[in-house]
Amino acid sequence: MRFAVLLAPALALASPALAQATDPDTIPPAIRAMLDAAIASGNDAEVATIVKYARAADPASGDAVLAIATAWRNTQAKSREVRIEQAGTFDLWTGKVEFGGYLTTGNSDTFGLTGIGDATREGLRWRHKLYVQGDYAEALDVKTREHLLASYSPNYKVSDRHYIYGTGQFESDRFLGYLQRYTTSVGGGIGAIRTAKMTLNLELGPAFRNTRFTDGRVESSLASRGLIDFDWKLTPAITLTQDASAYLDSYNSTISSTTAIAAKVLGPISAQLSYAVQYEGQPPVGRKTTDTIGRASLVYAF
């Protein structure tokens, strides 16, 4: 209601015809009540829906409905900018913590653990991403998997959809044939899809890799890096994600993919099933090129 009151005088000065078209008093009471309720909820998607159907149901008041919604969005955007500018280093972080494990006894004794931390901080111009993953498994008291990955990726936003990324990554997995692998990359990214239910980010750029293999070899090489980050909210409670990356070089190309589906259980807690595949083009002799792992885990969103 207060947005309409503030908006009307300015519109009246601009033009009598425009003022009449955007006069809040021309909005039918039923539509006005729905618009006020949507604004009070703070949900932009709900406001957009009310505006869409209100303009179709009563074209005469359509411009007034849109003007109120636009004023509200502008106020929200300004408030968000102020909040971000005043935020501290440890504020504005969102993400998830994932933990899963399994234990079997009887004919075979198998034990496995997986843990993932994924956090993002959205600023006005900068986006910061932190990711840590650890997997451990053993069968009959013999280690069968010991994987560690940690990465940091700052993004500079050129526009609403385009950005320049940088990334630094450390990996260790002797069962895939390398003790240490360091990767750096700089390139461009685009938010190809950004809707309330679906997002798709694509990145592409050159990379530099330094790898210390389990057979004693040490290799440094230039590579091409590509990344796909896809999230699809199938329902309010179920989300499908697909993350894939590729490092292509003349020595040892790497392709990895993780598909996951998560269902909300209680509040910020979800149950998740995922399947990951990692391919190494030229592993040391005696090592397989492809490694897969299925995970069942609980995820806490913050």
Under 8 Å between Cβ of 244 and 266: no
**Model's pTM, two decimal places?**
0.76
Write a three-state SS string for 158-215: CCCCEEEEEEEEEEEECCCCEEEEEEEEEEEEEEEEECCCEEEEEEEEEEEEEEEECC
State the pLDDT at residue 13: 45
State the pLDDT at residue 14: 45
State the pLDDT at residue 5: 45
pLDDT (tens place) for every residue of the chain, 302 residues total: 444 444 444 444 444 444 455 667 788 888 888 889 989 988 888 899 989 988 888 888 888 899 899 989 888 888 887 888 788 888 889 999 999 987 656 655 678 999 999 999 999 999 999 999 999 999 888 888 899 999 999 999 999 999 999 999 999 999 888 999 999 999 999 999 999 899 999 999 999 999 999 988 999 999 999 999 999 999 999 999 999 999 998 878 999 999 999 999 999 999 999 999 999 988 878 778 898 888 899 999 99
Under 8 Å between Cβ of 147 and 173: yes
The maximal CA–CA distance of the chain, rounded, in angstroms, is 85
Under 8 Å between Cβ of 54 and 65: yes
Radius of gyration (Cα) for the chain, nearest Å? 25
